[in-house]
Chain A
Amino acid sequence: MSMPFDHETLVAFSKSFGLFYLIAMSVIAVVYALWPANQAQFDRAAEQIFDDGDTPCQ
């Protein structure tokens, strides 16, 4: 097979880029969860399930 898509290249790409992808994803998820401005909506969401009116909003 020719250069760009031979097995070694593909494996090397997986091994390197996969790592960066992993780190980036983890950082994004943690920052989002800990971002102070989000605290209010999270608290509201956690409490919202106890809202007892068992009817849909119209």
Chain B
Amino acid sequence: MFTRTHYKLERHTIGFAVAIIVVSAIGGLFEIAPLFTIDETVETAPDMRLYTPLELAGRNIYIREGCYACHSQMIRTLRDEVERYGPYSLAVESKYDHPMLWGSKRTGPDLARIGGKYSDAWQVAHLYNPRDVVPQSVMPAYRWLARNKLRTEDLGRHLIAQRRVGVPYTDDMIAHAEQDAKAQVDPDSDNAEGVSERYGEATHVRAFDGNPRDVTEMDALVAYLQILGRLTDAAYQNKDKGE
């Protein structure tokens, strides 16, 4: 009987097309749909803070340069990874990452908890020419990051777009996006305090590339690298609980 049905299905090409879609799509649906309700069961992290405009800009540079092609940001639940890189990554840690940058390849080491492991000066020197600090490195040199001024006038629009996809940036943050980006590299400026007010006391406010006057792409990228794994302490608390 259903052979006749299939026969008809084939004769009507559209029916055949629908069959392919249904058969293929349902699999993915079963797998993915429950993940969108996962917020109910996922770890909560009340201390989770947002990327500052400068860090977000740095993240966009990380994306633009394709850093994710060689660096993961996902420490797996394996002993050697935890010992090498730190507590394994939790889902909540990337809940504001649009898109996520878990990566799929480690030509270089994992960066999920790189924040604070090295000084700003080391990061700048390393990006300027990796082989100056790690002679065996195969990473490209990113000298132009130090030369390029960061585009800041569009950061407000970036925060608005982020809010549209679900990141809770406030009107205040959006209104001060450009100002905050400039102030975050200039701790002595009048606006520096506003950055800490809006994004939390733990926010790094300092001249990442050593020069507080200009906001360079180097500033942004280093600010981002220094915050990796530092947006919440959930992973560390989780580790203490486990032990």
Which A residues have a C-beta under 8 Å from some C-beta of B?
1, 5-7, 10-11, 14, 17-18, 21, 25, 28, 31-32, 35, 37-38
A6 contacts B3, C-beta separation under 8 Å: no
Residue contacts A-B, CB under 8 angstroms, 26 given: A1-B40, A5-B37, A6-B37, A6-B40, A7-B37, A7-B38, A7-B40, A7-B41, A10-B33, A10-B34, A10-B37, A11-B34, A14-B30, A14-B33, A17-B30, A18-B27, A18-B30, A21-B26, A21-B30, A25-B23, A28-B2, A31-B3, A32-B2, A35-B3, A37-B3, A38-B3
Residue-by-residue, is B15-42 near A (CB-CB < 8 Å gives 1, otherwise 0)? 0000000010011001101100110110
Secondary structure of the B contact surface, majority rule: helix
Known: A21-B26, A32-B2. A1 touches B33 (CB 8 A): no
Known: A1-B40, A32-B3, A38-B3. A7 touches B34 (CB 8 A): yes
Secondary structure of the A contact surface, majority rule: helix
Which B residues have a C-beta under 8 Å from some C-beta of A?
2-3, 6, 23, 26-27, 30-31, 33-34, 37-38, 40-41
Who on chain B is nearest to A21 by CB? B26
Who on chain A is nearest to B27 by CB? A18
A32 contacts B40, C-beta separation under 8 Å: no
B33 contacts which chain A residues (CB < 8 A)?
10, 14
Bound: A29/B26 CA distance, A: 16
Bound: A38/B1 CA distance, A: 12
B2 contacts which chain A residues (CB < 8 A)?
28, 31-32
Known: A14-B31, A18-B30. A32 touches B6 (CB 8 A): yes
Having A10-B33, A37-B3, one finds 18 other A-B pairs with CB under 8 Å, namely A1-B37, A1-B40, A6-B37, A6-B40, A7-B37, A7-B38, A10-B37, A11-B34, A14-B31, A18-B27, A18-B30, A21-B26, A21-B30, A32-B2, A32-B3, A32-B6, A35-B3, A38-B3
